[in-house]
Structure 1
C-alpha cells in the first residue's frame, strides 16, 4: 500500500477546547488544552518525519456538531476522524 502524501490532523483552538471536550465526552481527549496540544504536536512531528505532510484540520464545536447531526452521528472519536478525513479530502488531500 502506498503511503499518503498528506494526512489530516484534528486541530483545536484554545477557546474551542472546553466545548469540544463537553460535546465529545467519550472521546478520550485530555482535560487540559496544553496536554492535548503537546500530544498533537508530537504526533504531527512524527508523521512529518516519516515524509508525510500534515494538514491541520480545525474542528470548531458548532460546525462539527452540525456535521454530526446531519449525518446522524454521535460526536465521538470516530466522528471526529471521519470529519477530519472528509475535510482533508475536500481540501485536496
Structure 2
C-alpha cells in the first residue's frame, strides 16, 4: 500500500510501497473552474488561472528535474466539496493537496484494467 507524506509546504507526496521513487500528487485545476475555486477557498489563490498555471508548470519542472515524478490530479469543485464536508476540511491549498494525493493513491491501488483513463 502507498504511503502519503506531507512536506513542509502543504503538498502531499505519495510514496509507493514497492517503489522508493517519490511521486507527488499535484492538485490540477481546469480554467473553467478557476473562479469557483477562488470563491470557495479560504486561502489566497493567484488572481488568474494563467498566473496559477505558469507557477504550477514551473513547480512541476523544478520537481521533475530532481528526478521525482509528478502526477497531475484534476480536481473538480463539487467532488472536492463533498469530500471536504465529509472530512471536516476547509477549502485550502493543504486540503486540496491532500485530496489529490488520496485520489492518486486510490487510482494506483486499483487493478490496471479497472482504471479510468484521464
Identify the TM-score tier after normalising by the shorter chain: 0.7 to 0.9
Runs of 4+ in 1 over 2 A off after TM superposition: 2-5
Structure with larger RCO (C-alpha < 8 A, sep 6+)? 1
Match of 1:56 in 2: 72
Unaligned runs of 5+ in 2: 1-14, 110-118
Match of 2:53 among 37, 40, 43: 37
1:12 aligns with 2:29: yes
Root-mean-square deviation over aligned CA pairs: 1.8
Greater per-residue strand proportion: 2
Residue 28 of structure 1 and its aligned partner are, at CA, apart by: 2.3
Bigger CA radius of gyration: 2
State TM-score, norm by structure 1: 0.87
Counterpart residue number, 2:115: none
Which deviations, in whole Å up to 9, do the C-alpha atoms of 1:46-79 show, x marking residues without a partner? Answer: 1111111110011111111111011121111221
For structure 1, the residue ranges without an aligned partner over 5 or more in a row are none
